[in-house]
Amino acid sequence: MGCDTSKYAAVPLAEKLRLFEQVKADERFSHGLYGCYECGVCVAVCPSARFYDFSPRWIAQALAREDADLVYKFMNEDVWDCSQCFSCDKCPRGNSPGGLITILREVAVRNGLKSAKDALEGYGRIIYKILSTGTQVAPDMLQPNAFPDWGPHVKEISENLEWWRRALPPETLHTTETSWEVSEQTLRELYLIWYASGVMEMIKEVDEGLHMILTDVMEEKLEEAGFALDATAQD
Amino acid sequence: MPIDAEGVAKSSRVFHRDPETVKSVPIREQVLELEARGEWIAQRVPEPYAEVANKLGRAKKIPLARTWHHKSCGQCGHIPGYSTSIFWLHRKLGLDYHDPRDQTSCTAWNYYASATSNPTAQAAVALRNFAAAYESGYFPLIHCATSYGHYKEVREELIGSQKLRDQVRRIMDMMKKPMVMPEEIVHYSEWVHAVRDRIAARKVLDLSNVVATVHPACHYHKLVAEDAIYDPDIYGGQRTATVTATLKALGVQVADYSTWFDCCGFGFRHILVQRDFSRSFAVQRKIEVMKDEANPDVTVTHDTGCVTTLDQSQFAARAHQRRVGIPVLSEAQLCALAMGAHPYRVCQLHWHNTDTRKLLEKMGIDHEARWREFEADVARLKRGEIQFLGWEDADV
C-alpha cells in the first residue's frame, strides 16, 4: 500500500537499478520530469487518485529522487491504475506524470514482469484484435458476456449486428470483425511495423501463447508480400 | 438554475492570447524546417481552409475540403452514427472527402492501455497513415481525440529525435513509402468548429429550449495542449472553444458544471477489463454532477471514449438509484440532427445506451415514425431487396 516497498525487499537492488536505468535511458524521460513543487495539482486532477491508492506525485517524486526501491514498487503496482488521461500534464513545473508512467509500463512489459502479465490478463483478445486487424475494437466484440454491465442493449446489438452494419451508409463500415474495412496490403504493412519495431518481442515477453497465434497470422502474409522477416530485425 | 456559459465569461477575466509573447518555437515551423533539411515532406493544408486561434493565439489552418478521414476504432465499431454523421455533414455542405481503406487505427488505445508497443512502432504507424493520405492527395482529418493527441505527441518526439526519425525512416523505406508529416494535425471537431456557421445556417430545428453540458475530451485539450482551439468569446478564453462554440452557434443553451475538467473515466485498459473504475468515475464525477448542477437534456462531447464511457456507464447505475439518465451525443450527431438528419439512418442512435427519445421529442423529432422507417429498412435488407443501406437511402 502507498509507498511501502517491503513486499519487494527480496528483489536485489541491482535488478531494481537495472530496470530504472532502462527508464532513464528512454529519450522521453527527461522531457517528462523537471522536478516537483509538491503543489499537488497532479493529484487534484487525477481520476485514478480518487478511486485507487494512487498518486502521480509519488511517482514523479520517486523518479526525481532516483529512489530505485520505490520506482520498482510503482512499476509493479501503481502504474496500472493510471487512466492515461494526461490531466496531470497541468503540472506547473512542466512534468508529465502520465508520460512517465507510459515509460514505466513499457519497461515492465519489455522485461516481462509478472505484474505486467497480471495487469494484462484478460486483455489478450484486445491485443490480438489491434495487432492482427488494425482496428482496436470491433462490432463483434459487443457481446452480452463481455459487457454485462451495459445492459440488454448489448444483446440487442449483437442479435442484429449483421443487419445493423449493413444499414450504415458509409461503405467502409459494413464490417463486423473490424471497425472498418482495412485493405490486405495495409495489414501487411502494419505487420511489418510490429516486427521491425520490436513490438512482437514485447508481446512474447508478456504472453507467449498470444505471440504464437499472432506469428501464425502474420508471418505467412509478410512472406506473401515479399517482406523478408530477417530484414525486419532491429539494428 | 444551470450556470450558463455566458455567465461564466462575464464574471471572469478574458484571456486574449498573444503569440508574440510565446517563447517556444511553433511546432509548424519546426515541421517545415525539417522538410527544408530533407527529413520529410510537410503536407500542406489544401485550400479552402479556415484559420482559427489555438491556445497560444497562433493561427491554425483547418482544411474545409479534400480531407482524408482518419477514422476512429470505437466510433466506427460501437457508435457508428458518430462517423456517419461526420461524413453526412461533409456531403450536405458539399465538401469533398475521402473515406480510405488503407488506414489503420493509430493503435494508441492499445498503447495507453497495455504499453505493448514503443515510440518507434507508434511513430511508424502514424507516418504510414500520413503517407497514405499524402499519396491520395487528401489531407488527414482525425476523428478520434486520442489519435489526434497521440499523433501530436509522436510529432514532438520525431521533431526532437534524429534517432527516432532514422528508425522510422528505415521502416518506411521497407514499405517504399515517403516520410510525410502534415503541416497541421487537425481534429474533426476543429473542422466542425470552422464550419459551425454554415451548419447553423442550414439548421431546420429550433434548439433554443435544449440545455446541454459539454465534456471536453482530455486527449483533445490536455495532451500537447497548445494546439487546441481557444476563443476569448468562449468561457473567457479559459477553456477550449470546440464543441461549446458549435452548440452556441446552433442556439443551444450551454450550461456549466463544476467538474468540467475531469476526465470521463475511460482509462483505456479500464473501460475494457476494469470497468468498475470507469463506471464509478463517469457516474459520480460527471453525470451526477451535471444532473445536480445543470440538469441538461443532453451532454455533448467530441471523442470516442467519452461518448462510450459517459453513455454506457449509466445503465448499471440505474440499479442503484443513482441520479443518471442524460443522453450522450457527439456534436457531429447533434449538428446532423439540427440539419434534419435521420436519427436512426444517419445518427444511428439505436447504438447508444441511455434513452434519447425525450431529447428527440424536445427537438421536435418524431422518433416513433423515424424508428418505423429504420425497421422497414432492416426488413428490406432481410428480404434481400437491398444489400446495404446507401447514402441515397439515408435522406428519404
State which residue of chain B sits closest to A116, comparing Cα positions. Answer: B114
Confidence at residue A233, expressed as pLDDT on a 0 to 100 scale? 65
Together in a domain, A194 and A91:
no
Together in a domain, A198 and A96:
no
Facing residue for A172 by CB, picked from B75, B99, B394: B99
Q: How many Å apart are CA B307 and CA B130, to the nearest integer?
A: 26
CA distances from B23 to A214, B19, B20, B377 (A): 47, 9, 8, 57
Let me know if residue A73 belongs to a domain.
yes
Together in a domain, A11 and A115:
yes
Residues 6+ apart with CB under 8 A from A45: A87, A88, A90, B261, B262
Contact A149 B87 (CB under 8 A): no
**Could you tell me if A206 lies within 8 Å of chain B, comparing CB atoms?**
yes
Confidence at residue B16, expressed as pLDDT on a 0 to 100 scale? 72
Tell me the shortest Cα–Cα distance from A66 to chain B, in angstroms.
22
Let me know if residue A62 belongs to a domain.
yes
Residues of B in contact with A180 (CB under 8 A): 71, 76, 101, 103
The 10s digit of each residue's pLDDT in B88-113 is 999 999 999 999 999 999 999 999 99
Range of the domain at A22: 6-119
Let me know if residue A167 belongs to a domain.
no
The residue type at A64? A
Among residues A86, A101, A119, the one where a domain terminates is A119
How deeply is B64 buried, as exposed, middle or buried, from its count of CB atoms within 10 A (0-12, 13-18, 19+)? buried
Together in a domain, A109 and A12:
yes
Let me know if residue A129 belongs to a domain.
no
Q: CATH number of the domain at A68, please.
A: 1.10.1060
Together in a domain, A94 and A191:
no
- In this model, does residue B178 exceed pLDDT 90? yes
> Count of domains in chain A?
2
SS3 for B148? helix
Together in a domain, A27 and A114:
yes
Confidence at residue B264, expressed as pLDDT on a 0 to 100 scale? 97
**Could you tell me if A157 lies within 8 Å of chain B, comparing CB atoms?**
yes
Let me know if residue A200 belongs to a domain.
yes
Q: Which domains does chain B have, with CATH numbers?
A: 19-188 (1.20.1050.140), 199-372 (3.40.50.11810)
Let me know if residue A36 belongs to a domain.
yes
SS3 for B182? strand
Confidence at residue A121, expressed as pLDDT on a 0 to 100 scale? 87
Let me know if residue A13 belongs to a domain.
yes
Let me know if residue A26 belongs to a domain.
yes
- Mean pLDDT score across all residues of chain B: 95
Mean pLDDT of B2-27: 67
Tell me the shortest Cα–Cα distance from B263 to chain A, in angstroms.
7
Residues of B in contact with A126 (CB under 8 A): 110, 113-114, 272-273
Residue percentage of chain B with pLDDT more than 90: 92
Among residues A86, A119, A152, the one where a domain terminates is A119
Together in a domain, A107 and A193:
no
Interface test with chain A among B69, B75, B76, B392, by most A beta carbons within 10 Å: B76
Residues of B in contact with A117 (CB under 8 A): none
Mean pLDDT of A88-104: 96
Q: Which ipTM did the prediction report?
A: 0.96
Q: How many Å apart are CA B287 and CA B264, to the nearest integer?
A: 9
Among residues A119, A147, A174, the one where a domain terminates is A119
